[in-house]
Every structure is written in structure tokens, then in C-alpha cells.
Amino acid sequence: MFRPTTKRRRRLLRLLRRLIMFRKSLRVNRRWDPSREPFYVPALARKFRPDFSFSEQNSEQELHDRAVKGNGTRVQFESEIGQRRYAFCLRALDEQRKENPELVELVITSVLRATDCDVARTVHRAKKYFDFYVDLFGKLSHKQSLTGDQDLRESLESGALQVFENCDEKGRGLACVVFRRITQQRGHTESAGVRLLRVMNYALIRTLRNYPTTQKNGFIIVADMGGLSFENYSFTISRTNMYVASRFFPCKFHKICFLRPLYFLKFVLPALKSFAFPGPMAENVHILTQDPKDLLREPLNLRPEILPPMYGGTNTSFDFAARVRGWQLEEEETECHDMGSTSRGENSINKTEEEEECKENDDGDDGDEAMNVEIANAGVNDDENRVGGRNETFGGVRQSGNDTDVVMDATGS
């Protein structure tokens, strides 16, 4: 009769404990509660799977095929039609815009660029993101700020999430999650997973604000597991952030890669790929090796001059802490600009001398300036943008006079 030795028993017990931990990570019996862990757990495990249908339906190939089936041209955000659809979305989300106009306008702009100005998908995705935003921060009017939120600034400076802009030929953004830096810091009352969600939201929104090419072409996600042990790995954090990113964030994701993966992941993920990444997105999930230069090769082909040496690049001057300080300066400049805009708005009847000089110097571009003024007014004054007496359908959204009817199927596509 076979009797395992003491050494084999220990190995079996360790394997059994790991299987129990993995099973517990899939067990779901709670609903969304940002203050508790797990943070978002629907009633059934299979409902918890990430849904990358938004990214799949708006990939470069899908957008091309959609245009071919239509009139053969893709609608650009900067075009006249694109600006009319932008104004239409602002009216459709007017209630949300009153609470946080800067965020709502940015989200609408980003999703319109990502979908070739498909209004139905834009309105639906934006509403899902705003609902998630309220769940995470308590109210839509909340504004994330590095100046007033020390915990957010410290979490960003820890480097748990690092974002690189314009990292490939399409101008996509690169979001690197460093798992070994996702730890529970002293003095924090919220879980590490919720803090990571807040950090992800701030970093991705900030990048979308600064880079229109990222709005159009999306992000690449890299999960860096270097220096991470199995005992410190959290399935719940990975699962929750993947779920939130795929279903709620106002951007699309091009590829997902695991850099310096844990040994067991090389064997487990291929078997679970169809469950964790249903649909065509499974073909864009890649397990890389321990060599960070894999990011510079197929299928990613990232730009080495953008990435630091820790990710196989040549950018030795990269400092993410300096990037965070730059974001803080941008916030302060924006606040000063908003205060100045408010002050000018109270005295808008009289034009400033600087505006008069600019007008005199730009007499040769009167046509372009007039168009820009019309586009700017389209995003500010809804009454001037109403299409009176006409029925128009934009990507599944029907507009009739002052009424708005959003037509979408149950899946939100």
C-alpha cells in the first residue's frame, strides 16, 4: 500500500491550501460595497467575469467593418457631424453634467473618439461609468485631487500603478500594475483593492484628458508580477480590478499582458482563459517571460524611448514621482484658469484687450475661427444646439425636436 512520505505530505498540504485559497477567491455572496472586501461580488461567480465587449466591438477592425457596412466613412470627433453628436450626448446626460461638468464632458469626448462617434454606445458606457463613480466616491460631484487627497498622492507615488503615454505607434497608453507594491499601508481604513481602484480611476482619467490618441486607441494593460510570492497574491484584487476596468471605465483596452508571471499562472491561466476572458479578447491576452524586453517585441512592439529600463526601455530619466508632481501642477493651473474664467464670465460683456489683438492678427482665418466658435458654443449652450422640427438618428439614438430617445439592446451594444 502506498504511503506518502512526510515531505510529500507537506507538498500535498501546501497544494491543498492553495486550492482552497483559489476556491475562496471565486466564492461570491455579497454585493457592491466599496468599504468591504470583496468589493464587487454579484450573486453568481459566472456573472463576475470581465466583459470586454466594449473593447471588442470598437476595435480597429470592427470600426472599419462597421464603416464599410454603413456609408463607407468613419466619423471623426473633430468633424461637423462628430461635434453635433457631442452636443447631442451633452443634452442626453444633462443631469450628470450639472453635477460634474468637467468629468462628464471628458468622458463623452473619450468614448465618442473610441467608438467613431457612436452615440448609443457612448451614452450607455458613460452612464455605466457614472454609476460606478457614484458607488466608489459617494457622489458624482466628487472631484479627485492630489492637492486635497494625501492618500491618493501617496498611493500614486508608491508606484503600484504606473502609466506611460504614447507608448506605441498608435499612441496608446500603457498601464503597468506592480503587484508587489499593492500593500495595505498603515493608517488606511479602506482596503488595498479599493485604493487601487481610486488610483486607477485618477491615472486613467488624467491620461485620457491629456492624450486624445489614447482616447481613440485605448490602453494596454501589463500586470507586472516580479518579486511577488504566491502567499501575497490576491485573487480578489486582480479579479475586481479586471471586472471594473472591462465593464465601467470610459476607454477601451487593446491587450492584456502578464510580465514576470508567477510560476503557477503559466499553467492555470491557459486553462481558465475562456472563463476569465470570454470572447475575442482572449486572443489579446499574453503571458510573457521574465525578460522585460518582451514588451518591445511582438505582439506589443512598444517604443523603447518611452519605457524605463525596468520595462526594457532606454528612458533613464523617467521618474513617476515627478510625473505625479506634474499632475498636481496641472490641477493647480486648472483651478487658477477656472477662477479666471469665472471672473471673466461676470464681465463677459466687455472683451479684453488681448482678445481684440488676437482677433486683429487672425483676420485671415475668419472662416476657421467662426467654425471653432460654433463648435465651442455647441458644448456650452444647449438651447442653441437643439434640432427643431427634424428627426435624426445617430448610431441608434433618435432625436426628435427637443425629445431624446436612446435605443439600445439589453447588452448595451
Which pLDDT score, from 0 to 100, does residue 46 have?
Answer: 53
DSSP element (H, E) containing 405: strand 403-406
C-alpha cell recorded at residue 281: 479578447
- Are residues 121 and 395 in contact, defined by beta-carbon separation less than 8 angstroms? yes
- Are residues 85 and 394 in contact, defined by beta-carbon separation less than 8 angstroms? yes
Per residue in 325-338, pLDDT tens?
A: 999 998 888 777 66
Which pLDDT score, from 0 to 100, does residue 23 have?
Answer: 60
Most confident residue range from 16-30, 50-64, 362-376, 387-401: 50-64
The angle, 0 to 180 degrees and rounded to 10, between the axes of the packed helices 80-92 and 119-137 is 40
**Alpha-carbon distance 314 to 38, whole Å?**
39
The total of other beta-carbon atoms located within 10 Å of residue 302's CB is 23
Reported confidence tier of residue 388, pLDDT bands at 50, 70, 90:
very low
Residue 278, pLDDT above cutoff 80: no
Which pLDDT score, from 0 to 100, does residue 81 have?
Answer: 95
Residue 31, pLDDT above cutoff 60: no
**Alpha-carbon distance 389 to 402, whole Å?**
9
| SS3 (DSSP) at 294 | helix
Which pLDDT score, from 0 to 100, does residue 404 have?
Answer: 36
Which pLDDT score, from 0 to 100, does residue 338 have?
Answer: 65
Which pLDDT score, from 0 to 100, does residue 389 have?
Answer: 33
Average pLDDT for residues 370-374, to the nearest whole number?
39
Average pLDDT for residues 105-112, to the nearest whole number?
97
Residue 409, pLDDT above cutoff 90: no
Weakest-pLDDT range from 110-124, 131-145, 162-176, 368-382: 368-382
Give Cα separations from 370 to 292, 354, 365, 376 (angstroms): 50, 18, 9, 10
Which pLDDT score, from 0 to 100, does residue 25 have?
Answer: 54
Which pLDDT score, from 0 to 100, does residue 49 have?
Answer: 75
| SS3 (DSSP) at 11 | helix
* DSSP 8-state code for residue 318: -
Weakest-pLDDT range from 127-131, 253-257, 340-344, 405-409: 405-409
Weakest-pLDDT range from 185-194, 220-229, 290-299: 185-194
Q: What percent of the chain has pLDDT over 70?
A: 71
Which pLDDT score, from 0 to 100, does residue 21 have?
Answer: 64
Residue 40, pLDDT above cutoff 60: no
Weakest-pLDDT range from 110-124, 208-222, 370-384: 370-384
Average pLDDT for residues 122-134, to the nearest whole number?
95
Residue with the larger pLDDT of the pair 192 and 302 = 302
**Alpha-carbon distance 191 to 199, whole Å?**
13
**Alpha-carbon distance 278 to 122, whole Å?**
22
**Alpha-carbon distance 381 to 224, whole Å?**
46
Residue 32, pLDDT above cutoff 50: no
Which pLDDT score, from 0 to 100, does residue 147 have?
Answer: 87
Nearest Cα neighbor of 60 from 43, 74, 42, 45 is: 74
Which pLDDT score, from 0 to 100, does residue 341 have?
Answer: 53
Which pLDDT score, from 0 to 100, does residue 71 have?
Answer: 77
**Alpha-carbon distance 118 to 408, whole Å?**
12
Most confident residue range from 105-114, 146-155, 192-201, 255-264: 105-114
Average pLDDT for residues 285-312, to the nearest whole number?
94
Which pLDDT score, from 0 to 100, does residue 153 have?
Answer: 92
The angle, 0 to 180 degrees and rounded to 10, between the axes of the packed helices 80-92 and 101-114 is 130
Per residue in 42-85, pLDDT tens?
A: 444 456 678 899 999 999 999 999 998 887 789 999 999 999 99
Residue with the larger pLDDT of the pair 218 and 273 = 218
CATH class, domain 145-327, is: alpha beta
Nearest Cα neighbor of 162 from 327, 319, 320 is: 320
Which pLDDT score, from 0 to 100, does residue 48 have?
Answer: 67
Weakest-pLDDT range from 48-57, 177-186, 202-211, 374-383: 374-383
Contacts 24+ apart (CB under 8 A), 52-56: 52/246, 52/253, 52/277, 52/279, 52/281, 53/279, 53/411, 53/413, 54/121, 54/125, 54/246, 54/247, 54/252, 55/218, 55/246, 55/252, 55/253, 55/254, 55/281, 56/279, 56/280, 56/281
Reported confidence tier of residue 169, pLDDT bands at 50, 70, 90:
very high
The one-letter code for the residue type at 266 is K
**Alpha-carbon distance 74 to 112, whole Å?**
12
The one-letter code for the residue type at 88 is F
- The beta-strand segments (E) located in 238-314 are 253-259, 285-287
Per residue in 227-247, pLDDT tens?
A: 887 777 777 778 888 889 999
Which pLDDT score, from 0 to 100, does residue 3 have?
Answer: 59
The one-letter code for the residue type at 348 is S
Q: Where are the domains of the chain?
A: 54-140, 145-327
Average pLDDT for residues 138-165, to the nearest whole number?
91
Per residue in 303-328, pLDDT tens?
A: 999 999 999 999 999 999 899 999 99
